[in-house]
Amino acid sequence: MHVTRTRGRRLSAAAVTLALAATGGTLTALPATAAVAAPGATQEAGQTTVPFPRDADVVGAGPSGFLTKTRGASPEFRWTWYADGSSIVLPGASAVGGGSDLVVTGDREQLGTSVNLQVHDLSTPATAATPTAAFNVRELGPYRFAGLAGATLLLERQEDGVWKQYAATIENGAPKLRWLIGSAQFTCFSGEEAWTSTDAALYDCWVGERGEMPAKVVVDLAGGSQPMYLQEPFEFAGQGAISATHVAWRESRMSGKGIIAHQRGANVERWFPADDLDDPLYLVGGWLAYGQKAHIDAAGGASASPTVRPFTLQSIKDGEKSVALTAFSSAVAGPGGSLLVRGGTPEQGEGLYRISPRADGGRPDVELVASTGQTTVVRLTGSDTPKTLSAEQLAGGADFGWDLSRGDAAVRVTLKHLRSGKTLTREWPADTADGAPRRVTWHWDGKDVERPDGLLSPARAGEYEWEISARPEEGIGPDLVTTGRFTVNRPQAPHDVDGDGTADLFARDSGGALWSLRTQPAALGGSVTSTGRTRVGGGWQTYDRIESAGNIAGSPAPDVLARDTTGVLWLYQGTGDRAVPLSGRTRIGGGWQTFDRIAAGSDVTGDGRPDLLATDKAGVLWLYPGTGNATNPFSARKAMGGGWGTYNELTALGDFAGGPAGDLLARDKAGVLWQYLGKGDGTFAARTRIGGGWGGFASLVGVGDANGDGHADLMATSGTGTTFYAGTGDWKAPLKPGAKTDVTNGLRSEVTF
């Protein structure tokens, strides 16, 4: 999209006259339009390309060759000839070219601060043997080097508080100076990468007695009238560019951001919306050229930034767009109005491309003139990744492998647990410098990708997605981004809320807030330790009985049953999400106030679904078989017999003592703990005595296998803390001695389940 508008103020000289040292004329707005020059003495189309250094950017180009600068702390400046690919390293700490075979070198890292300059004629190896000129810019004025346009050195200096711009040509081995622009009413500065023409320069100036009006000023280095483009109020000009036919710059205004383009010699401007104000801007004839530079870090490598925007050509005439290069890292003016760009295409790979204007104004020609020998595109040629992983397979971790078409790319692998959204990332730097294929291998330790509090819990169950991305070392070309998925399968456990294979508990504090408590084995077969807690929500004081129930409703995680003070039983389905472990509640039904004790989580009937056991106030034990249906989670109840009023605590343990089905623990009012082994048909074997002294505990919680030894365990809570009893799997002596542990993670709770 483009907008054409004519504004007298922008194209006028605002009645300010500027004397030109080269011509003695005045600053006017309407120069004659220059003709497009055809590239001369350049490499023939189709000619075999010459080498381009892989770790370098282009900083100059002429008819005979190009100048490169390596990345890193101590750059090397090398000139390479198109004719045979031969090259020389130039002396000096800095160097730049400007569309001709002349190169300027300096004695400091920045040419603008260099004192001693040398000018080299690199049209042939013979002329490159000795500098054409060498001089001290301080002794000349003093001056400061500002750029090179064709065979013209651009210099600047400050005089009476005003910056003035000068041009210098080399005659008889010495610079011949002439004043270009700058006066009491003009102070002008050279803009970075501000000219893409060998015979003209574009300056940022401040105009007026108080320097109140910003303007872009075009200076024709061969002399003649010069146009000035004043900025209107609330318009802020950015980086500009110039060609033989047009001038353009990025601009921010109240109505938005974009690019202003003018045809030189015509009282017309065009506006192209563009938000990327920091991206470099170039011109090739009547075509805008722009893109986002590849991000190169201080060590010379491509940083892990988002994929760069491609190098694009856009017609000023009709707004047509065309992607010239996949990406680029540098660009300089070339002879005949051409632009030399370090970049790449999927078809021809990475290297130096010449973009040349066409005499008919059509889309500029793009040709590869020097190659790094690298492909721009990184491809995944093969992979070895799992499809499913069981808990047993993950015990020793899992191996992944990916084959890349080129090794000189920085690689990042991200592993994501889809249900939680948590990720784990690993990175590898670019490898083989020659771009040979590469295999990237990674051993995942099989631990939780979230790694809470630095502790290594087992990986959670569910679907995972891996993503491998590879960014070419030079920052040129698109990132490879490929994904795949696999599933971690774990048997569901009544107290494994988040699917990581370890025990989780819920606790309600005195304020009625419910907390989810995470644990992991402190040592295999030993006790357990806390790995953190998550607040589930408030309002739980309305319940007088809360019970972890296992997966009674077919959800992907254990559920919770809660009875309110009116006797209504509610179901909270598990989500498997550590951050939000429970979904909204569902009403099961009323009348549950008749029960003193409720125990859930054991599969008593042997059908693979957890059931519920409850004792009424008359001492009768009732079995509610689980259905696996959230809307109707239990089938009709069955009486299991009387005499259960002697017990003040029931705990469903799952397969606690090696029997065929879910078991039950019962504590009598004397503090003696009894064991009921399930037969798998909805009944229990005769009770066996575990031992006395259990009356001091507020609750007994069967937590499944919490310490990772394959046996169900028990936790007992009291006002003094929590005691962990490791299971043995032997019904004759089902529990090891207790060990104190702070699984509540410092939380003072009134009930734990």
Last residue of a domain, one of 464, 488, 512: 488
Task: In whole angstroms, give the CA distance from residue 636 to residue 483.
Answer: 48
* Residue 494 pLDDT grade (very low, low, confident, very high; cuts 50, 70, 90): confident
Q: 517 and 415 in one domain? A: no
CATH code for position 474: 2.60.40.2550
Q: 622 and 473 in one domain? A: no
> pLDDT tens across 228-264, in order?
888 888 888 888 999 999 999 999 988 899 999 999 8
Residue with more model confidence, 35 or 748:
748
* C-alpha distances out from residue 128 to 96, 101, 567, Å: 15, 10, 98
User: For 534-549, what is the mean pLDDT?
Assistant: 92
* DSSP letters for 200-263: EEEEEEEESTT--EEEEEEEETT-S---EEEPPTTEEEEEEEE-SSEEEEEEEETTEEEEEEEE
Q: 531 and 459 in one domain? A: no
Task: In whole angstroms, give the CA distance from residue 602 to residue 562.
Answer: 17
Q: Is the confidence at residue 299, as pLDDT, over 80?
A: no
Q: 545 and 616 in one domain? A: yes
In the chain, the amino acid numbered 694 is W
- Structural domain for 411, as ranges: 380-488
Residue 631 lies in a domain: yes
For tokens 């401007």, the residue is: 269
What percent of the residues of the chain are helix, what percent strand, and what percent coil, each to the nearest 5? 5, 50, 50
Which residue blocks in 106-173 are alpha helix, DSSP H?
137-140
Q: 561 and 421 in one domain? A: no
> pLDDT tens across 95-129, in order?
999 999 999 999 999 999 999 999 999 999 999 98
Residue 22 lies in a domain: no
Task: Give the three-state DSSP class for 392.
Answer: helix
Q: 469 and 537 in one domain? A: no
Tokens of 204: 């940022």
User: For 643-650, what is the mean pLDDT?
Assistant: 94
Residue 680 lies in a domain: yes
Q: 709 and 569 in one domain? A: yes
Q: Mean pLDDT score of the chain, rounded to an integer? A: 85
How high is the pLDDT of residue 266? Answer: 84
Residue 533 lies in a domain: yes
Q: 603 and 467 in one domain? A: no
Residue 353 lies in a domain: no
Task: In whole angstroms, give the CA distance from residue 148 to residue 329.
Answer: 20
Residue 309 lies in a domain: no
Residue 168 lies in a domain: no
Last residue of a domain, one of 97, 131, 165: 131
Residues 6+ away with beta carbon under 8 Å from 609: 551, 552, 603, 625, 626, 627, 628
Q: 481 and 562 in one domain? A: no
CATH code for position 564: 2.115.10.10
Q: 100 and 68 in one domain? A: yes
Residue 547 lies in a domain: yes
Q: 728 and 598 in one domain? A: yes
Q: 522 and 554 in one domain? A: yes
Domain count, the chain: 3
